Amino acid sequence: MPRELSVGGMFMPSLLLVFVVALGLLALLDWVAGRYGWYRHVWHPALFRLAVFVGVFAALGLAAMRGD
């Protein structure tokens, strides 16, 4: 994946796209976790959510940037 994407002639860092995708994934995960009450087994839900987000974003970002 290239480092920058051209959107209508403007250059955007492609990590921004990855960031948005990671946010979407987190929202999905959050919904599922809320639906089935998974957060009850977690000590600090907010910190857990943040950690999951960092993990997802880092994994996606590294995967996207591997070619360079």
Residues of the shown chain interacting with other proteins in the complex, contacts defined by CB under 8 A: 10, 30-31, 33-37, 39-40, 44-47, 49-50
Q: Identify which of 31, 65, 34, 67 has the alpha carbon closest to the alpha carbon of residue 19.
A: 65
Q: How far is the CB of 33 from other proteins (least distance, A)?
A: 6
Residue with tokens 């921004």: 16
Nearer to other proteins, 45 or 61 (CB): 45
Q: How far is the CB of 38 from other proteins (least distance, A)?
A: 9
Q: How far is the CB of 50 from other proteins (least distance, A)?
A: 5
What are 50's two structure tokens?
């943040």
CA–CA distance, 27 with 20 (Å, rounded to integer): 11
